[in-house]
Amino acid sequence: MLIPGKLLDQMVAHARADAPNECCGVVAVSPGEPPRAERVYPAGNAAASPLRFEIDGLEVLRLIERIEEQGLQLGAIYHSHTRSDPYPSQTDINFAAGWPGVEWIIVGVADSERPLVRSYLIDGPSVEEVAAEAI
Ligand SMILES: [Zn+2]
């Protein structure tokens, strides 16, 4: 997807604020090819852990409702990796099975000087990196 720089900054700032715990949230997109990120919605990490994240199902449903009210769509779920590379863990791959077609954005802040934002499509066990292009 295309991501305005200020939304990338917002996700990195969220990751830094919650470190060493992982942060999480969702990204609303306007449909198109490629989709364009329009808003970032931070969510609470119910697991409050440096090793994994958990979004409360009701919170996600409420966020999706707000996103759809604005004529947008759920485009991505994002979370941070505070100790490892921004690549999906086995836990992430398992969790992604419940969200087909949604991009999986990982904000890597293990190197605080050089945050990395990567996006993936996860289909069963297969992980494909897709562009998270700053605009
Ligand atoms: Zn992860």
pLDDT of residue 32: 86
The predicted structure's pLDDT at residue 98: 87
Residue 68 has pLDDT above 90, yes or no: yes
Q: What is the pLDDT of residue 33?
A: 87
Distance 135 CA to ligand 1 centre (A): 25
Alpha helices of the chain — where are they, by DSSP H? 5-18, 57-69, 90-96
Residue spans per domain, the chain: 2-134
Report the top-level CATH class of 2-134. alpha beta
Distance in Å, CA 78 to ligand 1 centroid: 9
Span from the CA of 69 to the centroid of ligand 1 (angstroms): 29
Q: What is the pTM of this model?
A: 0.94
Whether the CB-CB separation of 29 and 37 falls below 8 Å is answered with: yes
Ligand 1 centre to CA of 55 (Å) is 12
Q: Are strands 103-108 and 73-81 parallel, antiparallel or unpaired?
A: parallel
The residue type of 89 is: S
d(CA 19, CA 99): 25
CA of 41 to the centre of ligand 1 (A): 18
Rounded to an integer, the average pLDDT of 61-86 is 96
Distance from the alpha carbon of residue 124 to the mean position of ligand 1, in angstroms: 16
**Per-residue model confidence (pLDDT) at position 75:** 96
Spacing, Cα 51 to ligand 1 middle (Å): 8
Q: Tell me the pLDDT tens digit for each residue of 16-31.
A: 999 999 999 999 999 8
Span 48-66, average pLDDT:
91
